[in-house]
Structure 1
Amino acid sequence: MQYNVTCNKCNRTFMITADGNDKIHCNCPYCGESLLVNLPTLASPVTPSVQQPIMGQGEQKGSGSTLKVLLTILIVLFLGGLAVFGYIYWNNQKEVAQQELQAQRKAQADSMMQVRAQIEAQEAEAQRQDEKRKSICRFLESFYKKAVLTDDADADFYSRYLTDYCHRMVFGTEGSYDYDVDEATVWWGAFGNTATEPDFNQLQRNLKVDAIDDNWYKVRLSQDGETEYRQVKVLSQDGHILIDDVR
């Protein structure tokens, strides 16, 4: 006879066939649980039941394979995310390093340009000062040749190249001792040498002017093997070079 049996473990119902025994051992076809079934004394008609599909090993393997695939996909996505993050971080660090390197190079270039500009400015200033000294030396050489080392020196005319201070120092002021002395004598005493008989040709040939600093210049007066020096101070007023002192 056929009997309906409910599994104690999975609570699923299945059908068995037995003949006149009080008890029977069987296994649940769904979960494999071993069961001891007590058969009823009077057999009751059995209504055939639709068996639930039993998950076979193939389905279990398919489910396990799907889980493995999902885990593999998750791992790949995780590792891929790490790789992308690592690449982005490395690329950002590379860009930062390049920017810092460019900034350093720019700072070095700017510093070199500043140093070069300073050097060029210093060289230009030195050249300007050198040209200024050469110009003053030429002025003093011309002044001495035309206004001092010549027979017809015109002290009154060339006194225009003296500042007021130097003019008073050379010619004196009204009422002073030097004021009544002959202009030519005073002029030669201020700018000439101490030779008894000056040789103007020889003095002009040996004339040399050198810069002491920006304002003072040394004039060499040499004749007959004797050399004397005059120190002349010059100033620039209204674009003109004037003699401010002589010693």
Structure 2
Amino acid sequence: MSAPLLAVSDVHVAYGKVEAVRSVSLDVGTSEIVTIVGANGAGKTTLLNAIIGILPLKGSVAFAAKDIGLLDIEDRVSLGLSLVPERRELFSTMTVEENLQLGAFRNAAATVQSFERVHALFPRLKERRTQLAGTLSGGEQQMLAMGRALMGQPKLLMLDEPSLGLAPRIVADIFKIIAELKSAGVSVLLVEQNAQAALQIADRAYVMELGEFILNGPAKDIAADQRVVASYLGFQHDDASAV
């Protein structure tokens, strides 16, 4: 059996004396979608931030069979690890095309190919290429944030709450594209409160509560677990505040 693309082992992350993530271990294989579901405040975002290098951690993180625990964020990105944060963090006064260009700053030789790939996944970004990022709809901004991350041709894309604040029809489009990334050979680690949507496209899932994983396994098994059904699948997200 080949080594996982990402291997997180016994990771702890603390804010001062408060431990937000405790004894967490997970792995993501090549061309695999793995989701972490759980309530707001469970520690999901903290974990992603620690994996990319924004927050310090105790434990070990290996990517592409290399220990990355001491690497800075830029070096982790260069290895093929990328994060799309919950807030998207676009440059609102720059155009769509300029934002995408920034995503390829470490892979300039592949810029033309990257643009073609991103435009194929997100045709709307090609249509809006001269428009300022700050004037895009919420759904378009999420597409741009994902597109910018993909410009660097990552091996693993980490997504933090990509459905947040989006209308259901836009959420469906975003999750369809996430599934297409797997077909294109990109692994995905997906943090998502919309457990129903996440479990439908994921291969495997971890359920996080109060900084710890309480369940993990094939996504279809997690979706059928009565505790998960009662806690996370008994509602539909219908937040249509933005498109």
| TM-score (normalised: structure 1) | 0.23
**TM-score, normalised on structure 2?**
0.23
